């Protein structure tokens, strides 16, 4: 009983935030066009960014520093992911030039949605916040990045991280 609710607290909060951000745009604009939707995605991404920064700061406060960039990415895939999404990333790939692909075969925030095709279009709504979380966490570790996500088959999901070299 306890575990079930633990599992869903974050998911409920997240769903409610997504729905609030879209509703507030809609109430001022009526039907949302692609520009309005981009605004929503950017609001959610920004909220995720700040939460990601705060979280990783608490998680790494007493940790030894990381060996290298790959070491940080592994921390995101294991410890950070488990904290927020209750499982590890299933697969991490890299070209060793600053691009990383993180694959989650059963992404928590998509698992509740129906797997029908019509939901594929909606997927960006539910991924923006998490892209922000990752970007915020990395930023706090000293890595500036661009994080995007794509869904091909629900509820599996790929996050692409491109580290911005200075």
Taking CB under 8 A as the rule, does residue 17 contact a second copy?
yes
- Which residue of 26, 38, 50, 105 would you call a contact of a second copy, by CB under 8 A? 50
Buried b (16+ CB within 10 A) or exposed e, 90-121: eebeeeeeeebebebeebbbbeebeeeeebee
- Which residue of 42, 83, 105, 164 would you call a contact of a second copy, by CB under 8 A? 83
Angle of helix 118-140 relative to helix 2-29, nearest 10 degrees? 100
Nearer to a second copy, 126 or 158 (CB): 126
Residue with tokens 């060996």: 67
Pick the stretch among 77-85, 95-103, 113-121, 146-154 that binds a second copy (CB under 8 A). 77-85
- The count of residues interacting with a second copy (CB under 8 A) is 29
Sequence-distant (6+) residues with CB within 8 A of 80 are: 55, 56, 59, 137
> Which residues here bind a second copy, judged by CB under 8 A?
1-2, 4-6, 8-10, 12-14, 16-17, 20, 24, 43, 47, 50-51, 54-55, 58-59, 61-63, 79, 83-84
């Amino acid at each position: 009983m306890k575990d079930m609710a633990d599992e869903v607290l974050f998911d409920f909060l997240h769903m409610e935030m997504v729905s609030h951000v879209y509703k507030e745009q809609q109430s001022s604009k009526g039907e949302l066009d692609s520009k309005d939707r981009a605004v929503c995605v950017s609001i959610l991404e920004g909220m995720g960014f700040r939460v990601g920064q705060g979280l990783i700061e608490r998680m790494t406060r007493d940790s030894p520093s990381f060996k290298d960039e790959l070491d940080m990415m592994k921390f995101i895939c294991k410890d950070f992911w488990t904290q927020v999404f209750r499982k590890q990333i299933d697969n991490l790939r890299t070209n060793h030039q600053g691009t990383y692909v993180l694959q989650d075969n059963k992404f928590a925030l998509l698992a509740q949605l129906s797997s029908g095709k019509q939901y594929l279009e909606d997927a960006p709504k539910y991924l923006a916040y998490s892209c922000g979380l990752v970007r915020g966490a990395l930023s706090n570790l000293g890595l500036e990045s661009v994080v995007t996500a794509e869904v091909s088959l629900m509820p599996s999901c790929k996050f692409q991280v491109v580290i911005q070299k200075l």
